[in-house]
Structure formats: structure tokens, C-alpha cells
């Protein structure tokens, strides 16, 4: 396996928008759009296919797993609630050095941002790299694979096992954390580019339509559209993000 493994955490169950991962956007399923954007990253290796869909063993995710396999994606199935264990199992089986954790509700992942974050992660020899101050849903988390296996052995809370990197973020004294400062053109934290509700879905669909339907549209262009079209922004402006705890 490549030293970098992109892992997209996805399932069919969702409290606010069930089966969102399979909802159509840009002429394809949401999961496909995410995969296609990740493949644009400099760190995606087309021959090695260093990308994994991490879903659950629950029957409701059978369809998602089968669909992803039919598209040629690598699929791993694990615990629904203990997502940390799911990631640790992937690490033990495929032995990457660094995991890029992504989620199946972010259609506008920025591949260039992921590459820059990975570069910084390596330069600083960090255990964990994250970013703030961008539209919600365009980035991921860079985690040293060995750390995932290490904390999987800890007696963690339910919330710390459900939210993979929560324990790491809560304990900067134990780990080397790196906050990546995004480029100015992406520093628009007021926008929601994630899909958690029907309002988010309508927003994302309209935004992509306004961008001409191109799956490779740069995030900066999407931000520019939002700046010029407040009517689109208003579609999901009132949605509040659920807390990790």
C-alpha cells in the first residue's frame, strides 16, 4: 500500500439526511463526486489506488459497499459506533504511514488543500494536522497511522471512539499537533460546503450547477460564486453543525 492512504468514512444511516451518501449531485452519487475530487490530489496514486471507503458491517450499508465495489473502489467494513477501531483495523491490514481522514458528506473536498496539508504534515513531522478558517467541508485530517493504532488501545469514551481524532485533539500534550493556515483565497469560514441536511443538499446542488457542473471546479471559484450570489448562500445559512460531543 502507498505510504498515504485516503480513507473516506461513509455510511447510509444519517439522523438528519438518511442515505445522503448516495444522493445525486453533478450527475453522479455524492460518494462518487468525493472520490473523483480526492483523485485530483497530487498524493493520489492511480496505479496503487490508495483510497479506501470505510463503511460499517450493518445490513443497511450492504448496498453502499456493493455499489462502491462495483465502481472499483476499495472497501473496508467495520464497527458502526467504534469508528476509531474501524480506522485502526484498516491501518493494521494495509499498513500506510499516514492516513488522510475524509467524510462522506463533503462533495467539495479541495485536492490542492489536501496536498498542501500533507506537505506541511511531513515537514513538521506532525502526528496530526488539521485546518480551521475555511468553508466547512473542504479539508481533511492528516494522522500518522501508528497513532491510530496506539490510541485504539486506550480506555476511551464512547464519543472518543465515535469521533476518530477527538482524543488526539483533546490531548495536545501527548501528540504533535499541527494547525495548517489555509491560503487567503480559502479563508471563508462562514460558508457550509458540507451536506448534513436537506438545506445543505439543495445548496450544494445549486452551487455546483452555478459552477457549470464541473466536478473539478476549484474551491476558490465556488467561494466566488457564493460571494456573488447571496441567494444561494441563504439556502443553508441557518443550519447549525452538530457538535462532536
Q: What is the pLDDT of residues 42-82, one digit of tens each?
A: 999 999 999 999 999 999 999 999 999 999 999 999 999 99
% of the chain surpassing 90 pLDDT: 93
Q: DSSP strand E in the chain: where?
A: 4-9, 24-25, 28-29, 51-56, 74-78, 98-103, 128-131, 141-144, 177-180
| pLDDT classification of 156: cutoffs 50, 70, 90 | very high
How high is the pLDDT of residue 245?
40
Q: How confident is the model at residue 240 (pLDDT cuts 50, 70, 90)?
A: confident
The pTM assigned to this predicted structure is 0.95
Quote the mean pLDDT of the chain: 95
Q: Quick one: cell of 159?
A: 464519543
The answer, yes or no, to whether residue 239 has pLDDT greater than 90, is no
Q: Print burial letters for 60-79: b (CB count within 10 Å at least 16), e (below 16).
A: ebeebbebbeeeebbbbbbe
C-alpha cell at 166: 477527538
Q: How much is the pLDDT for 180?
A: 97
List pLDDT tens digits, range 13-36. 888 899 999 999 999 999 999 999
Q: What is the pLDDT of residue 242?
A: 63
pLDDT digits (tens, 9 = 90+) for 186-212: 999 999 999 999 999 999 999 999 999
Q: Is 155 helix (H, G, I), strand (E, B) or coil?
A: coil
Helix (H, G, I), strand (E, B) or coil at 203: helix
Looking at residue 21, the DSSP 8-state letter turns out to be G
- The pLDDT of residue 244 is 47
What is the average pLDDT across 162-183?
A: 96
Taking only the tens place, the pLDDT of each residue in 82-103 is: 999 999 999 999 999 999 999 9
pLDDT of residue 191: 96
89: nearest Cα among 5, 27, 18: 5
Amino acid at each position: 500500500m502507498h505510504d498515504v492512504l485516503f480513507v473516506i468514512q461513509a455510511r447510509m444511516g444519517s439522523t438528519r439526511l438518511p442515505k445522503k451518501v448516495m444522493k445525486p449531485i453533478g450527475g453522479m452519487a455524492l460518494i462518487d463526486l468525493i472520490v473523483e475530487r480526492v483523485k485530483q490530489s497530487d498524493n493520489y496514486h492511480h496505479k496503487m489506488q490508495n483510497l479506501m471507503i470505510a463503511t460499517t458491517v450493518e445490513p443497511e450499508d450492504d448496498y453502499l459497499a456493493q455499489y462502491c465495489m462495483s465502481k472499483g473502489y476499495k472497501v473496508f467494513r467495520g464497527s458502526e459506533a467504534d469508528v476509531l477501531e474501524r480506522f485502526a483495523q484498516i491501518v493494521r491490514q494495509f499498513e500506510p504511514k499516514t492516513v488522510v481522514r475524509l467524510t462522506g458528506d463533503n462533495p467539495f473536498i479541495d485536492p490542492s488543500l489536501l496536498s498542501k496539508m500533507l506537505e506541511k504534515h511531513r515537514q513538521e513531522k506532525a502526528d496530526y494536522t488539521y485546518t480551521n478558517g475555511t468553508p466547512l467541508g473542504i479539508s481533511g485530517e492528516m494522522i500518522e497511522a501508528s497513532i491510530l493504532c496506539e490510541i485504539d488501545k486506550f480506555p476511551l469514551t464512547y464519543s472518543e471512539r465515535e469521533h476518530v481524532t477527538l482524543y488526539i485533539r483533546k490531548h495536545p500534550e501527548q501528540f504533535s499537533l499541527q494547525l495548517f493556515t489555509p491560503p487567503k483565497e480559502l479563508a471563508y469560514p462562514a460558508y457550509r460546503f458540507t451536506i448534513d441536511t436537506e438545506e445543505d443538499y439543495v445548496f450544494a446542488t445549486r452551487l455546483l450547477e452555478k459552477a457549470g457542473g464541473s466536478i473539478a471546479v476549484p474551491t476558490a471559484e465556488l467561494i466566488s460564486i457564493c460571494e456573488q450570489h447571496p441567494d444561494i448562500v441563504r439556502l443553508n445559512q441557518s443550519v447549525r453543525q452538530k457538535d462532536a460531543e
